[in-house]
A = this chain, B = another copy of it.
Amino acid sequence: MSDNDKLEAIRERIDSLDQQIQQLINARAAAAQEVADIKLAADPDAQFYRPEREAEVLRRVKARNTGPLDGEEVARLFREIMSACLALEQPLKIAFLGPEGTFTQAAALKHFGHSVKTTSLGSIPDVFREVESGICQYGVVPVENSTEGVISHTLDTFLSSPLMICGEVSLRINHNLLSHEAGLDAIKAVYSHQQSLAQCRSWLDHHLPRAERVAVGSNAEAAKMASDASGCAAVAGETAAEVYALPVLASNIEDEPGNTTRFLVIGNKDAAASGEDKTSLLFSIRNVAGGLHTILSPFAEHGISMTRIESRPSRRGRWDYVFFVDINGHRNDQSIAEALAELEKKASLFKVLGSYPRAVL
């Protein structure tokens, strides 16, 4: 067989595969419609988006994948297939911390797929309000926003919002060194948000050991300052480079090549158990010094691992601190339910922010 004949035969095979794939995707959408019909008959306000079910599907796709496509890549395709099927039943509106083209929008599309409608909002509290009012069903916010120019601590907003966490998204984020200077020798000062400076510390230690590091409010502000003065550079993303017309002197300078930023998906309720879940909660105690160890003891006793703990000054009283804690597991797991009940008794303020599937993609 000539090469051309061989190629023609393979192309015919691909065309036949495509027909089957298309048929099956439409069969899947029809099945999803049947689910919607049954749910709507029982409850006219039924919600069709089920984060735990989607996480299970994506995990299974990755687990059973044999290639040649990478499991991550196939999961991404299924994310889009589920997104299209869901849009047929119930078009989702997702609020995100704008503007368009930011990492948070990328996180929203990564989590929900491209068949949703995204709405850009100017602040984290605005995203919460848009979801609370029902204009959008879900919102996506960075846990702490440093790279996109608005300094706002998302966790604080949960103190006054009834919304819950129903998902998390991880996104890889790259930093660049931006400057009008022609070379590193001329750089006397480096501006950036504190967190970005920390994420690039080794690179800065090695390449710019004598340059002063100045922490400023946001990476965009840093880029603006670096564009106005000589001998200066900023650590910032590509968008800031373009907005302030600053050349990229060095790219991907973050110490951890897998430098990821975490975003939360917020909605009116959290997710059912998916098998691999996290639970976020906040609590407050009066006497921090000895109290913290005591209040956390139920986790140790029940063998529950904390993946993150952070303290924030409360705005309520002078000596009040609020702690934000993430643990592995779902709040309906028996051991976690017991530990949370014990912790609640000891805390002056206690709130479960939600249980949700660990990020799959």
Q: Which residues of A contact B (CB under 8 A)?
A: 3, 6-7, 10-11, 13-15, 17-22, 24-35, 38-39, 42, 53, 57, 60-61, 64-69, 73-74, 76-78, 80-81, 84-85, 87-88, 98-102, 105, 114-115, 120, 122, 237-239, 241-243, 245
Contacts and interface: CB of A to CB of B under 8 A. Distances in A.
Task: Quickly give the copy total for this chain.
Answer: 2
24 contacts: A3-B38, A11-B35, A11-B53, A18-B57, A20-B24, A21-B28, A21-B78, A21-B81, A22-B65, A25-B69, A26-B65, A26-B67, A69-B88, A76-B84, A77-B80, A98-B238, A98-B242, A100-B237, A100-B238, A100-B239, A100-B242, A101-B105, A101-B239, A120-B238
A28 B67 CA distance: 11
Given A99-B242, A100-B238, A77 B81 contact: yes
Contacts of A24: 17, 20-21, 24
Contacts of A53: 11
Contacts of A67: 26, 29
A28 B14 contact: yes
B26 A74 contact: yes
Contact of A10 (B14, B31, B84): B31
A61 B28 contact: no
Contacts of A98: 238, 242
Given A77-B80, A81-B77, A238 B28 contact: no
